[in-house]
Structure 1
Amino acid sequence: MNSFEHIKNILKEIEEFSDGTDVFKNKIVEAALRLDPKLLSVLMKDERSNSIFFQKVDDIFIFDKIKFQKFISNKEFLPDSFTSFKNKIGLTANGEYLTEAKEVVLDFPYKDCILEGGQTKEDQKRQEIFWNETLASEEIDRLFEPKALINWKKYDENGEHIVEECTINDNLILKGNNLIALHSLTKSHKGKIKLIYIDPPYNTGNDSFQYNDSFNRSTWLTFMKNRLEVAWNLLKSDGTFFIQVDDSEFAYLKVLCDDIFGKENFRETIVLKSSTESGVNAINVKRGERLFKVKEYILFYSKSKSFRFKPFYTKAEFNLNYKYEVINKDGTYTVEDISKKFKEKFTHLDISSTEKDLLTKKAFENYALQNSENIYSLEKNIKKAGEKFKNFALANKSKGIVEAYENSLKKIVLIYDGGVFVPLQERVIIEENKKYFGVLASDLWVDIGTTPSSEGGVKFSNGKKPEKLLQRIIAMTTDANDIVLDYHLGSGTTAAVAHKMGRRYIGIEQMDYGENDSVVRLQNVISGDTTGISKNVNWIGGGNFIYAELAKHNAQYIAKIQAANNGNDIEKIRKSILEDSSRNYKISKTSFEENIPLFEDLTLDQQKIVLINLLDKNELYINYSEIEDQTYNISKEIVKINQQFYNSK
């Protein structure tokens, strides 16, 4: 018997790899590649297969899986290629083949990695760090422990103050890496956030996500995935998640979110008109290169399938069917068709019929909106109503009067001429003390408009969102005192609107925007900012918020390395790192010092990369559990505030 037949007979004895007659070639190859213990045990025990596929080195047997794969693939081993159809080949999800799982999954390089994403300036390009390539798994757990918070400040109408007390009820602005900050919040806020809205970098090549590696899309998806997973756990059972993006990564993000949040929790894709058909891009449109980009998307998920948002209306053309004025006087109703009255009002004017129609429509609309509590349309299509209601309406038809009817919701409705009066009052929208006609909202939002440059008292050139947009999202999903979270806070629109609307909020931002920072904007809000939604919500100022920063450890070294301008700066930092116990344990101080000449031959940027690699990335920030370690020199007052924050219920 030749070797091919011999090995085939051995493998036939393994149930997973054979049906007793034929062997399953692909399953065997897959098992060999993952070094399946059962397969290796059988092959090692057989003297003939052992001599072919194993090499003995110092009493250790080394399996040659490449040789074994070629052997199995040889036509002399399995001449009938159709046996491959006995095995399934393809992508898997959760241990099942996709054809069996009936799922679609998004797979990409570094999917299971952690991307720290540590930029401090918007225009800063920084090589990404994938933690599970540099840290053992138990160290990754430590990386995500709650961090100590320092530089506490409280802001109210009287200015800046020292923080003496902090609880979960305080509005909070956190400065530092948003991934680390989110994990810190799991100790104090898990299951307590009602709404998360984020406006992350869109990965357009021109925004703050400037990770120009060869896996740019994979890097962005990893960046998003890390943060979405932990943020989702912060939501209450009736919480919601809104993510705003453009079409650069929208399709990929939707699949990723379905995987993380559950596709059953997907509510809507809202299309937002975010700009107008004008500007410098007109030349590209005229050339036929591309259309104007006027839209963005907002993905809307809820933590529970049973979640219900609060219905709302958006501005629309006035519906002329709202023409009946119904007056109730001592229980007796009078009905007048006011459209006739306004039509007669302009008949004497010597103008065109078109102009008369416009004047009539405008006057009619203004009157109806100003007296909306008495204006109705008459709906006669009541086929879907209950039998009791239909019988009542039918009996009313011949009476010529208005009658009150209590429906199944215990609500009084007015019946007239066999139909039901629909009140205009519930459709009226008030903006800046002016009334507009409204219709129930759709998933196409064209009425928000662009953001005024002066809104909030800060100038933010890269994607400042309109306060009106956040007002709508917050109003439809939250109530007073609910907590709103934005971990890509930017100029602070989410926090500013939440503050004006009486919600609590947490904002996380890593980058420093100076005079256009969210802290500056919130101080403007407290002082009575009159821009944005202020008039709509009668905002006059007041309130307070607390600011704190993640306590840096090795992150301080990174800041110094990035700021270094010459060799002298680099030398000082290098010496300090090599003496610090927080350097990467894999780096030998002695070996590094022996190679100083090689290090000095590198360019300044290359030296910076080397120094960053010297640091233990698990020690970027100080863990809350180590806050009382004398090494960090954190005051008792700050320790006390941290204890209050993390232990508040």
Structure 2
Amino acid sequence: MAKSNTRLELTWIGKENRPKLEPRILVEDPEKSYHATQRVTDNDIFDNRLIFGDNLLALKALEQEFGGRIKCIYIDPPFNTGSAFEHYDDGVEHSLWLALMRDRFESLRRLMTNDGLFFLHLDDGEMAYAKVLLDEVFGRFNYCNTICMTTNDPSGFKATGATVFSTANYLLVYAKDKSTAPMRKVFIEKSYDTAYSKVLADRAASYDRWSWEGINDVVARELGFDSVRTAKREVGDAFEDEVARFAVTNAERVFQTAAIGGGAAIKRAATIRQSMQERQRVFVHPGEDVPDFYILNGRQILFYDKRLIEIDGRRIPGEIVTDVWTDISWNGISNEGSVEFKNGEALAKPRVTWAARP
């Protein structure tokens, strides 16, 4: 019996039809050019380029010079919502949209370094189809992640319809060769967590001699005031900024207490009970495969220094970037560059940081 060569793939009308691309030469317009004054390294690609013309022809023209050299690609194609915008048509027949995307995905892949990353931004209208299409172009084994981003505020006028309010956009992330492009952890800056509201007088002392007071009281005293109320009245909103700065500077002494649950509570049940009976006294439960647990009033002591990270040489509060992004403000970013487009530059830095590994 003959072996079948068929495979599972996304099909559409006209899939076998591919455009015949004639070679194009990119011609610089000197009147619109701007060049940096110096190179940073000898390997720098010195000139950025803004290309006017059909993007598929432009990609083809770039392949000869940049094939295999691009580390990170982010594209934000038309979502195919059926709308007509001033600068582009966002409603084409579904099969045509798939063909247009397939040809561009393939060309973009040829531009990438082996350890390069590719990001595709879409909403739920075409995202699922694009996922299958990218599996075909990049290989399913080179799929890295799907990131969900919240993009609209449900309190606005858009939320008045009868259907479930849509607030999600998606980033499909692929590597050209996932085995050579492990995505490292990325952190983002967060504001001071006011739950960390207590300060140890001396953490270096034995834990059974620890004493503490409220962070607001400590900061007010350091600012020369006899009470928090007076400090807030005299300093105003800047008092909260002073508290946040103090918390970072003294993070090894600043702490909060948190409930202990699950297996951790079962293992430490006796210590927790004793702590609740002898309140305002610190107990320690020696760690086996984890650091020692410091327990106060039946709750675990958590120090603020564990919440700090280093970004651009600064020690700041932060958290790891996950596959759900809710921290990006979309208000006003559609006008970045003085042209009305759906999305803005505020999204770029986390992606570039993710891809531009040392």
State which of 300, 315, 319 in structure 1 corresponds to 2:190. Answer: 315
Q: Offset at 1:248? A: 1.1
Assess if the C-alpha contact under 8 Å between 2:200 and 2:253 holds in 1.
Answer: yes
Q: Offset at 1:105? A: 2.1
Q: Offset at 1:425? A: 6.4
Amino acid at match of 1:294: T
User: How many angstroms apart in 2 are the aligned matches of 1:242 and 1:176?
Assistant: 22
Evaluate the alpha carbon distance shift between residue 183 and residue 369 of structure 1 in structure 2; reply closer, same or farther with a 3 A threshold.
farther
State which of 155, 166, 173 in structure 2 corresponds to 1:300. Answer: 173
Confirm or deny that 1:423 pairs with 2:305.
yes
Evaluate the alpha carbon distance shift between residue 322 and residue 303 of structure 1 in structure 2; reply closer, same or farther with a 3 A threshold.
farther
Assess if the C-alpha contact under 8 Å between 1:315 and 1:439 holds in 2.
Answer: yes
Confirm or deny that 1:291 pairs with 2:169.
no
Assess if the C-alpha contact under 8 Å between 1:194 and 1:236 holds in 2.
Answer: yes
Evaluate the alpha carbon distance shift between residue 248 and residue 374 of structure 1 in structure 2; reply closer, same or farther with a 3 A threshold.
same
Amino acid at match of 2:14: Y
Counterpart in the other structure of 1:203: 80
Assess if the C-alpha contact under 8 Å between 2:217 and 2:228 holds in 1.
Answer: no
Evaluate the alpha carbon distance shift between residue 338 and residue 184 of structure 1 in structure 2; reply closer, same or farther with a 3 A threshold.
farther
Assess if the C-alpha contact under 8 Å between 2:202 and 2:211 holds in 1.
Answer: no
Deviations, residues 225-249 of structure 1 (Å, cap 9, x unaligned): 0000111121111110001001111
Assess if the C-alpha contact under 8 Å between 2:127 and 2:170 holds in 1.
Answer: yes
Confirm or deny that 1:218 pairs with 2:91.
no
Evaluate the alpha carbon distance shift between residue 149 and residue 326 of structure 1 in structure 2; reply closer, same or farther with a 3 A threshold.
farther
Confirm or deny that 1:191 pairs with 2:79.
no
Higher fraction of helix: 1
Assess if the C-alpha contact under 8 Å between 1:105 and 1:259 holds in 2.
Answer: yes
Evaluate the alpha carbon distance shift between residue 144 and residue 368 of structure 1 in structure 2; reply closer, same or farther with a 3 A threshold.
farther
Amino acid at match of 2:322: S
Amino acid at match of 1:305: K
What are structure 1's unaligned runs of at least 5 residues? Answer: 1-14, 17-87, 99-103, 115-130, 132-139, 159-166, 351-358, 385-399, 401-413, 481-649
Higher relative contact order (CA 8 A, sep 6+): 1
Assess if the C-alpha contact under 8 Å between 1:270 and 1:298 holds in 2.
Answer: yes
How does 1:507-526 map onto structure 2 within 5 Å? none
Confirm or deny that 1:371 pairs with 2:227.
no
Confirm or deny that 1:447 pairs with 2:324.
no
Assess if the C-alpha contact under 8 Å between 1:372 and 1:424 holds in 2.
Answer: no
State which of 155, 166, 171 in structure 1 corresponds to 2:34. Answer: 155
Report the 3-state secondary structure (helix = DSSP H, G, I; strand = E; otherwise coil) of the residue aligned with 1:448.
coil
Counterpart in the other structure of 1:409: none
Assess if the C-alpha contact under 8 Å between 2:198 and 2:215 holds in 1.
Answer: no
Q: Offset at 1:206? A: 0.9
Assess if the C-alpha contact under 8 Å between 1:105 and 1:255 holds in 2.
Answer: yes
Of the two, which has the highest radius of gyration?
1
Counterpart in the other structure of 1:438: 318
User: How many angstroms apart in 1 are the aligned matches of 2:105 and 2:36?
Assistant: 35
User: How many angstroms apart in 2 are the aligned matches of 1:238 and 1:157?
Assistant: 27
Counterpart in the other structure of 1:237: 114
Evaluate the alpha carbon distance shift between residue 436 and residue 459 of structure 1 in structure 2; reply closer, same or farther with a 3 A threshold.
farther
What are structure 2's unaligned runs of at least 5 residues? Answer: 38-43, 230-236, 265-281, 283-290, 296-300
Counterpart in the other structure of 1:469: 347
Deviations, residues 411-443 of structure 1 (Å, cap 9, x unaligned): xxx98979997724634779xx9x974322221
Assess if the C-alpha contact under 8 Å between 1:311 and 1:441 holds in 2.
Answer: yes
Evaluate the alpha carbon distance shift between residue 421 and residue 312 of structure 1 in structure 2; reply closer, same or farther with a 3 A threshold.
same
Evaluate the alpha carbon distance shift between residue 178 and residue 334 of structure 1 in structure 2; reply closer, same or farther with a 3 A threshold.
farther
User: How many angstroms apart in 1 are the aligned matches of 2:256 and 2:152?
Assistant: 38
Assess if the C-alpha contact under 8 Å between 2:80 and 2:97 holds in 1.
Answer: yes
Report the 3-state secondary structure (helix = DSSP H, G, I; strand = E; otherwise coil) of the residue aligned with 2:94.
helix
Assess if the C-alpha contact under 8 Å between 1:318 and 1:365 holds in 2.
Answer: no
User: How many angstroms apart in 2 are the aligned matches of 1:282 and 1:425?
Assistant: 36
Q: Offset at 1:273? A: 1.1
Report the 3-state secondary structure (helix = DSSP H, G, I; strand = E; otherwise coil) of the residue aligned with 1:169.
coil
Assess if the C-alpha contact under 8 Å between 2:115 and 2:176 holds in 1.
Answer: yes
Q: Offset at 1:275? A: 1.7
Confirm or deny that 1:254 pairs with 2:131.
yes
Evaluate the alpha carbon distance shift between residue 241 and residue 451 of structure 1 in structure 2; reply closer, same or farther with a 3 A threshold.
farther
Amino acid at match of 2:308: E
Deviations, residues 197-229 of structure 1 (Å, cap 9, x unaligned): 0000000011534565xxx11110110000001
User: How many angstroms apart in 2 are the aligned matches of 1:157 and 1:454?
Assistant: 27
Assess if the C-alpha contact under 8 Å between 2:9 and 2:136 holds in 1.
Answer: yes
Q: Offset at 1:269? A: 0.9
Counterpart in the other structure of 1:633: none
User: How many angstroms apart in 1 are the aligned matches of 2:308 and 2:242?
Assistant: 18
Evaluate the alpha carbon distance shift between residue 326 and residue 458 of structure 1 in structure 2; reply closer, same or farther with a 3 A threshold.
farther
Assess if the C-alpha contact under 8 Å between 1:191 and 1:233 holds in 2.
Answer: yes
Counterpart in the other structure of 1:621: none
TM-score, normalised relative to structure 1: 0.39
Seq. identity, %: 26
How does 1:392-407 map onto structure 2 within 5 Å? none
Report the 3-state secondary structure (helix = DSSP H, G, I; strand = E; otherwise coil) of the residue aligned with 1:470.
helix
TM-score, normalised relative to structure 2: 0.66
User: How many angstroms apart in 1 are the aligned matches of 2:172 and 2:49?
Assistant: 25
Report the 3-state secondary structure (helix = DSSP H, G, I; strand = E; otherwise coil) of the residue aligned with 2:343.
coil
User: How many angstroms apart in 2 are the aligned matches of 1:280 and 1:422?
Assistant: 40
User: How many angstroms apart in 1 are the aligned matches of 2:120 and 2:171?
Assistant: 5
User: How many angstroms apart in 2 are the aligned matches of 1:254 and 1:268?
Assistant: 10
State which of 37, 46, 49 in structure 2 corresponds to 1:169. Answer: 46
Report the 3-state secondary structure (helix = DSSP H, G, I; strand = E; otherwise coil) of the residue aligned with 2:95.
helix
Evaluate the alpha carbon distance shift between residue 454 and residue 199 of structure 1 in structure 2; reply closer, same or farther with a 3 A threshold.
closer
User: How many angstroms apart in 2 are the aligned matches of 1:194 and 1:157?
Assistant: 21
Deviations, residues 347-375 of structure 1 (Å, cap 9, x unaligned): 9889xxxxxxxx9x968962554415545
